[in-house]
Amino acid sequence: MIYLDYQATTPLAPEVEQAMHPWLGEKFANPHAPYRAGREAAAAISVARDRVAALVGQGGTLAFTGSATEAINWAIKGTLSRSDRPHMVTIATEHAAVLDTAEWHGRHHDVTILPVDRNGLVDLDAVRAAVTNDTALVAAMLVNNEIGVIQPVAEIAAIAHGKGALMLCDAVQGFGRMRIPEGPDLIAASAHKIHGPKAIGCLWKRDGCEPEPLIHGGGQEKGIRSGTLSPALCVGFGIAAKIAAERMEEDHAHVAALWEAATAQIDDWTINGSTDQRYRGNLNVRRQGLDSARLIAELRDIAISLGSACASGSGRPSHVLRALGLTDKQAKSSIRIGFGRYTTEEEITDALTRINEAAASQ
Ligand code: PLP
């Protein structure tokens, strides 16, 4: 298989797998237990927490969660329920974790969903007009999972703060791949997008910013997120974050070279979304008249996707591509090719040669 679906998930780094092993075997103690084995697990979690927090890079505190989806739910529900302001602002191209949580809150709060331009970028004047003294929270993602477009997160945070609102950044697709801009009060990230294990994420919180807990129970994570932590998952996340920090420039240069190789082979395709404000490990392209679902079915040993992994299979055209102004037909003639640390140029070239052949023969 040629794996080109790095936005859906990334391969586990070998160093991460190795580091997790003992915590799945002989070191099985509950990290919240008082005896030595428990304390050893707690200490390993503490090191992991510092490693992940260092990649967010702005002080504050970090709580582990079961996923970025949980972190986002916590940030939105916990902030809105603690605020007496009745309004939230977000963007049409956000991940379902944000949009569906906002929609759920729409029963109790006013939610403004801002459009994006043809390039997938939000207009800062529109943000300024939407955020008012009634706004509790503004949510904007760093890097879009479907089209790789980078939103002006620092500027959006400044606008939110100007009106006394908080800002949540879904940093899942940018975390570990680029520096997270200063400004957000709450940042959600996920281990499995940075070569860490699945089913662990985190919510970073600026000091003084305390959303109400989402998960109640045994009072772990200093009482704000109950549930026994998994030392294996935390340690894996920590090592993934450490490697991502150490290799950020190297990974970035590698992805830039892969982007050049890929874009040299897409004469008959149009890139969806901005090419300037973009994380270049995401190539989302459309080709006139293509049936992309059929293309993917024909190329089973090349892992590419129609867009977000959560939405694929629904048959619905991508809400992100629709927000760019693409027709249903154009959205359904689009594919997402995602690459990163372990992708080779040869894989990109081979895959695109076969994708082009299959598309031309439709
Ligand atoms: N936000 C973005 C932008 C994502 O790409 C994803 C995962 O696809 C998530 C949130 C959810 O992350 P998790 O899989 O950890 O719940």
- Residues 285 and 350 placed together within one structural domain of the fold: yes
Please, which residues have CB within 8 angstroms of residue 117's CB and are 6 or more apart in sequence?
123, 324
Strand pairing report for 302-303 and 135-141 = unpaired
**How many beta carbons lie within 10 A of that of residue 9, not counting itself?**
17
Q: What percent of the chain has a predicted confidence (pLDDT) above 70?
A: 98
In the listed set 202, 219, 243, which residue is the last one of a domain according to the structure? Answer: 243
Residues identified as active-site: 310
Whose CA is closest to 239, among 54, 107, 52?
52
CA separation for the pair 252, 16 (Å, rounded): 20
CA separation for the pair 332, 315 (Å, rounded): 9
Higher-confidence residue of 311 and 302: namely 302
Query: What is the domain-level CATH number for residue 288?
Result: 3.90.1150.10
Domains held by the chain: number: 2
| Residue-wise pLDDT tens digits, 243-275 | 999 999 999 999 999 999 999 999 999 999 999
- Residues 127 and 264 placed together within one structural domain of the fold: no
| Residue-wise pLDDT tens digits, 32-60 | 999 999 999 999 999 999 999 999 977 89
The rounded Å distance from CA 302 to ligand 1 centre is: 22
| Residue-wise pLDDT tens digits, 201-236 | 999 999 999 999 999 999 999 999 999 999 999 999
Query: What is the domain-level CATH number for residue 96?
Result: 3.40.640.10
352 lines ligand 1 (CB under 6 A): no
The rounded Å distance from CA 268 to ligand 1 centre is: 31
- Residues 183 and 153 placed together within one structural domain of the fold: yes
Given a cut of 90, whether residue 315 has pLDDT beyond it is: no
Per-residue pLDDT at 9:
98
Per-residue pLDDT at 57:
76
- Residues 34 and 169 placed together within one structural domain of the fold: yes
- Residues 218 and 276 placed together within one structural domain of the fold: no
Whose CA is closest to 152, among 174, 176, 129, 130?
174
- Residues 78 and 117 placed together within one structural domain of the fold: yes
Please give the order of strands across the beta sheet that includes 135-141: 61-65, 201-205, 186-190, 166-170, 135-141, 87-91, 110-114
| Residue-wise pLDDT tens digits, 112-138 | 999 999 999 999 999 999 999 999 999
The full DSSP string for 121-170 is PPPHHHHHHH--TTEEEEEEESB-TTT-BBP-HHHHHHHHHHTT-EEEEE
170 lines ligand 1 (CB under 6 A): yes
Cβ pair 240, 16 in contact under 8 A:
yes
- Residues 148 and 232 placed together within one structural domain of the fold: yes
141 lines ligand 1 (CB under 6 A): yes
Whose CA is closest to 306, among 283, 276, 332?
332
Output the residue whose Cα is nearest ligand 1's atom 6: 172
In the listed set 243, 259, 292, which residue is the last one of a domain according to the structure? Answer: 243
**How many beta carbons lie within 10 A of that of residue 67, not counting itself?**
19
Q: Which atom of ligand 1 is nearest to the CA of 170?
A: 1
**How many beta carbons lie within 10 A of that of residue 214, not counting itself?**
19
145 lines ligand 1 (CB under 6 A): yes
| Residue-wise pLDDT tens digits, 151-199 | 999 999 999 999 999 999 999 999 999 999 999 999 999 999 999 999 9
In the listed set 181, 210, 243, which residue is the last one of a domain according to the structure? Answer: 243
CA separation for the pair 323, 115 (Å, rounded): 7
The chain-wide mean pLDDT, for the chain, equals 96
Given a cut of 90, whether residue 311 has pLDDT beyond it is: no
The rounded Å distance from CA 109 to ligand 1 centre is: 24
Strand pairing report for 166-170 and 135-141 = parallel
- Residues 141 and 218 placed together within one structural domain of the fold: yes
Residue 144: domain span: 14-243
